[in-house]
């Protein structure tokens, strides 16, 4: 069973906590536009696991923030996230560092 996913926006940072896993993404997906409003940073330091569904949602959140006019950086990213992106042949610049 997957650990739940929670999120909190503090200032311009969206902090995610738990697992970014396809089994628990729906609540964040449903709130995605509101969740990224005004953010310039996504903090993943409390994320314990990311699967392909989680990576897809993360990329979507970054894209939504960009469409709102914000450049987004990532904080606390585990190297496994970048490895997962590389395994799917995603461009190196798709995940900001």
pLDDT tens digits for range 39-91: 999 999 999 999 999 999 999 999 999 999 999 999 999 999 999 999 999 98
Quick count: other Cβ atoms within 10 Å of Cβ 36?
Answer: 24
The domain spanning residue 28 has which CATH number? 3.30.750.24
- Assign 2 a pLDDT band (cuts: 50, 70, 90): low
pLDDT at 1: 54
User: Which among 56, 7, 79, 75 has a CA at the least distance from the CA of 36?
Assistant: 7
Total number of domains in the chain: 1
DSSP conformation letters of 41-86: EEEEEEEEEE-HHHHHHHHHHHHHHHHTT---EEES--HHHHHHHH
What is the C-alpha separation between 64 and 67, in angstroms, rounded?
5
Q: Is beta strand 13-20 parallel, antiparallel or unpaired with respect to 5-10? A: antiparallel
Q: Which range marks the domain in which residue 37 is found?
A: 5-94
């Amino acid at each position: 069973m997957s650990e739940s996913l929670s999120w909190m926006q503090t200032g311009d940072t969206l902090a995610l906590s738990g697992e970014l896993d396809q089994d628990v993404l729906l609540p964040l997906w449903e709130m995605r536009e509101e969740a990224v409003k005004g953010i310039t940073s996504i903090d993943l330091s409390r994320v314990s696991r990311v699967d392909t569904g989680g990576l897809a949602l993360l990329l979507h959140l970054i894209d939504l923030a960009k469409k709102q006019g914000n450049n987004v950086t990532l904080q606390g990213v585990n190297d496994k996230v970048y490895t997962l992106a590389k395994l799917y042949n995603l461009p190196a610049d798709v995940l900001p560092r």
